[in-house]
Amino acid sequence: MEQVVCKGQLCFSTGPETRQSIPDGFLVCTDGICRGAFSTLPEAYRDLPLLDFGNRLILPGLVDLHLHAPQFAYRGLGMDLELLDWLKTNTFPEESKYRDTEYARKAYDIFVKNLTHGATTRACVFATIHNEATLLLMDRLEEAGI
């Protein structure tokens, strides 16, 4: 299993009303689990590989619990419309295009690339009713580590 210590400017929350920062802190991860954030590296972790991010921020990943991949192409549009009008104008026409797997491949590749460049590390992603396109999306997300 991977074991690593990350050094940098740590910013995190331990609850809804708490925010913490540790300048020049150490984040310890072993076996896929965060073991802690420390201002001084505990002796037990001193032999682990160290990734020094210098003055860069180290933040926890975000979890998006409701994300529609096929709506990525028109995100932010139609904010002046009621839901049903927005669905008829934007969603239904766009999502019907996903029966074409080549269209789906191009659109989902753009979606996944953008998702990997943000702070979202886990997401509950919705697709369309098109099985082949949905399987393609799931493969792309898995390949990207999301």
pLDDT tens-digit readout, 15-25:
888 889 999 99
Instruction: Kindly report the pTM of this predicted structure.
Output: 0.70
- Give the model's pLDDT for residue 1: 57
pLDDT (tens digit, 9 = 90+) per residue, 77-96? 878 889 999 999 999 999 99
- pLDDT computed for residue 103 by the predictor: 98
- Averaged pLDDT for residues 61-83: 89
Under 8 Å between Cβ of 120 and 62: yes
- Both tokens of 117, joined, read 């460049």
Contact between residue 82 and residue 73 where contact means Cβ atoms under 8 Å apart: no
Q: How far is CA 25 from the centre of its chain?
A: 23
Alpha helices, DSSP H, located in the chain: 83-86, 92-96, 101-116, 131-144
In a 10 Å sphere around its CB, with 0-12 CB exposed, 13-18 middle and 19+ buried, how is residue 41 labelled?
middle
Span 51-58, mean pLDDT?
95
